[in-house]
Structure 1
Amino acid sequence: MQRVVFRADGNSEIGLGHVYRSLAFAEMLKEDFKTVFLIKNSIPELKDTILGTCSECSILSDEKQDQELISVIDYINEGDIVVLDGYHFDGEYQKTVRKHCGNVISIDDMHQGHFYSDYILNHCGKLDPEIYDTESYTNLLLGEQYALLRPEFLQAARENNRKIDTSDTLFLSMGGSDFHNLTHKVLRSVIDIDRIMNVNVVIGAANKYYDELRKMAEENPKINMFRNLSAAEMCFLMKKSDIAITPGSGISFEVCAVGMGFISGYYTENQQDIVNWLDETGCASIIGNFCSLEVNDIRNYIKSFLDNVDVSKMVTNQQIVDGYSDKRLRNFFQRL
């Protein structure tokens, strides 16, 4: 069985988004390929999560880029497909890896620098292919038709016909690490809104503010705190919620798959393309830069959303994420 080697990193400093979307990709392929994962700077819980999907997980030593590249080259074989997800895997890295494997695929959302990969996958919609500077042989896989979703969310998207009659339960997740502690800021804005009766908060294993957030939840009965949920648990919790607040990252596609009233924004540059896509398609209402907003700004925005937004229309718009991206990507890989 041909191997697909995933190379991505995740920790409290850079977040977990690269790892989770790579794992969603691996989940789509594991029936037809042997999926293995290379990672460094890993937290213990992350390795267990990876092994829940991939057949192998090798931890690379925390070494400089040139030494790490030697380790990766030693690991891969000529017939492997190598998937790179991370901004430090630049053109020179891609070009070197490409000499030692069958194909290189870059999962990307920043379109910076020159690409030597055989394929670039960016699941954000409404992108102009001209934003990418590539070799003549590079092929682009762009748009929400390639959404990197885990099986539970693919199924949810295929079944998405939700009718939301109330808007009293809020789902909140600001990323696996949330290094700005934006969860705390948003919670402070929400707990005083009478129409919000329950707040389901999800944080990741890499979140350094867990104790602070747990204390806040203990003091506020409307806050329900969850940590390091599985895909099934996350999907179930979203279906029990009416409105979501998340950044414009991979979780945005999960929100669209389930179907919810949706307030999104950004706190890093790489989230802005998805935020623009959510805005243009009417899949979310855009609050702006979470870092620059004050608590009262967020509170007023949520109140305005509750009063003025047609959530049913928004959920209909979200059906652009159709739940068949796994079949499209499997068909594509089988032709490689």
Structure 2
Amino acid sequence: MSISAAPRLLFRADGNATIGLGHLVRLLALADQLRGLAPGMFLVREPTAAVAQLVTAAGWAVQALPANSLWLAEADWLAQGFLKPTDVLVLDGYSFEAAYQRRVRASGCGLVYIDDLLAWPVVADLLINHSPGVVATDYEAPADTRFLLGPAFSLLRRPFLEGAAAPQAPTPIASALVCFGGADPLGLTVRTVRALLALPNLQRLGVLLGGAFGDAAALEQLAADAPGVPITIYRNVDAGALVELLRAYDVAVVPASTVLIEALVLGRPALTGYYADNQRALATYVHAHQQAFSVGNFAELTDAALPATLHQGMQWLETTQRVPYTQQLQPGRLRAEVQRLLQRQQQ
């Protein structure tokens, strides 16, 4: 018997100055790939003005969730009072463990889970992990769970999908774009810019800041005091503008997160590294496979060691032919899998 309620795509993620905006940006990219399949809405705990603006500017409504510190209580609230059997819920975050997934599925909704930790069992209908080197047998999951694994299913906004390109031959590096995400809670932007200013041959720097960045005054002072190297600060650029920025600078200095994948899909040279556990595997993989140069743990590099390590990476990029991050993106298959799940929920 068919169900009369209209289907909805519900995207659940959080972002703020403490945890950063990575999950929200990644989920916005997926939402863009799925646009038009069903009405959509983002579910966010206590969305800040910056988060609300980020989501609404992309054309999606925001539903503020109760600020309950108990994650399983949230799952019960969603299952009992918000979710419908015709919905498809997409989860992206590190609080949605197996118990949370089971409780929201009690509503009868379809479930898509985005993962990059492999830290617990999953009970999703569809699991997406766009990290390289992952296989389905890495997971404990029901037999009917469907998997979209690897860089071919990178969760990217449309301008990056359309601008995908192979790496070019190595060339001298005279400019660098620095981006540590929307929040940078560890203050790595200022440290990295200061280290880059100590390197020879760099003639200009760009710094990309997000809406949750909290140390703008220190960065602006550093730019004002820069000895002969112009520093341009960019704020809250859209996806199309970011594509152009990544193409306008000789190297991107970024953590092993979504912005790294964006740079690599465009074929751009990148210096990367990690400061969170979930970034380490990607940083290690792209370094081992000659796709980018990793400095290791950004947070553990001292102010004295950081310039030398960045310089080593610059030299590697100037002399090494890089390997493509993925041979072919498959956004069409990703969209088809979610569409299949929406249709199943209508039956």
Of 232, 254, 267, which aligns to 1:259? Answer: 267
- In the other structure, the counterpart of 2:10 is 5
| TM-score (structure 1 length as normaliser) | 0.92
Shift of the alpha carbon at 1:298? 2.0
Query: Unaligned stretches of 5+ in structure 1?
Result: none
The residue matched to 2:324 in structure 1 has which SS? helix
Higher alpha-carbon Rg: 2
Superposed counterparts of 1:73-92, under 5 Å = 73=79, 74-92=81-99
Q: CA deviation at 1:99?
A: 1.9
* Matched residue SS, 1:121: strand
- The residue correspondences of 1:138-149 to structure 2 (distance < 5 A) are 138-149=145-156
Distance 2:320 2:158 in 1: 24
The aligned runs of 1:211-222 (5 Å cut-off) are 211-220=217-226, 221-222=229-230
Matches of 2:58 and 2:297, distance apart in 1:
34
* In 2, Cα distance between equivalents of 1:127 and 1:260: 24
1:268 counterpart residue number: 276
Q: Does residue 98 in structure 1 map to residue 118 in structure 2? A: no
Q: Which letter does structure 2 place at the counterpart of 1:217?
A: A
In 1, Cα distance between equivalents of 2:291 and 2:48: 33
- Check the 8 A contact 1:147/1:321 in 2, yes or no: no
Aligned partner of 1:332 in structure 2 is 337
Instruction: Name the amino acid aligned to 1:255.
Output: A
Q: Could you list the runs of 5+ residues in structure 2 that have no partner in the other structure?
A: 1-5, 342-347
Q: Is the 8 A contact 2:85 2:109 kept in 1?
A: yes
Q: Deviations over 1:157-208 (max 9, x none)?
A: 1x45656644111011112211110111111111122311111111211122
Match of 2:190 among 153, 177, 184: 184
Amino acid at match of 2:21: L
**178, 203, 207: which one aligns with 1:201:** 207
Q: Deviations over 1:290-334 (max 9, x none)?
A: 0110123221122223334356722xx235264x33212112222
Q: What is the rounded CA distance, in whole Å, between the counterparts of 1:237 and 1:297 in structure 2?
A: 28
Where do residues 218-257 of structure 1 align in structure 2 (5 Å cutoff)? 218-220=224-226, 221-257=229-265
Aligned to 2:178: 172
Task: Map Cα deviations across residues 243-263 of structure 1 (whole Å, 9 max, x no partner).
Answer: 111111111110112222211
CA distance in 2, matches of 1:214, 1:198: 15
User: Is the 2:84–2:108 contact (alpha carbons within 8 Å) kept by the matching residues of 1?
Assistant: yes
Q: Which residue of 2 aligns with 1:129?
A: 136
Greater Cα offset, 133-142 or 267-276: 133-142
| Structure 1 contact 8–39 (Cα < 8 Å) conserved | yes
Residue pair 2:207, 2:234 contacting (<8 A) in 1 also: yes
Deviates more, 1:133-142 or 1:194-203: 133-142
Closer/same/farther in 2, CA of residues 136 and 203 from structure 1, 3 Å limit: same
Distance, in Å, in 1 between the alignment partners of 2:199 and 2:72 is 52
- 2: CA distance between counterparts of 1:242 and 1:312? 14
Which residue of 2 is the match for residue 30 of structure 1?
35
Amino acid at match of 1:329: L
Q: TM-score under structure 2 normalisation?
A: 0.89
What SS class does the counterpart of residue 272 from structure 2 fall into?
strand
Give 1:268 shift. 0.7
**Percent same amino acid at aligned positions?**
26
Kindly provide the amino acid, as one letter, of the partner of residue 262 in structure 2. E
Distance 1:71 1:183, change over 3 A: same
Alignment match of 2:75 (pick from 53, 69, 72): 69
The alpha-carbon distance between structure 1 residues 329 and 113, as it changes in their structure 2 partners (threshold 3 A), is same
Q: Which residue of 1 aligns with 2:60?
A: 55
Distance 1:23 1:321, change over 3 A: farther
Task: Give the Cα–Cα distance (whole angstroms) in 2 for the partners of residues 311 and 154 of structure 1.
Answer: 27
Q: Aligned with 1:214: secondary structure?
A: helix
Partner of 1:84, secondary structure, is strand
The number of residue pairs the alignment matches comes to 332
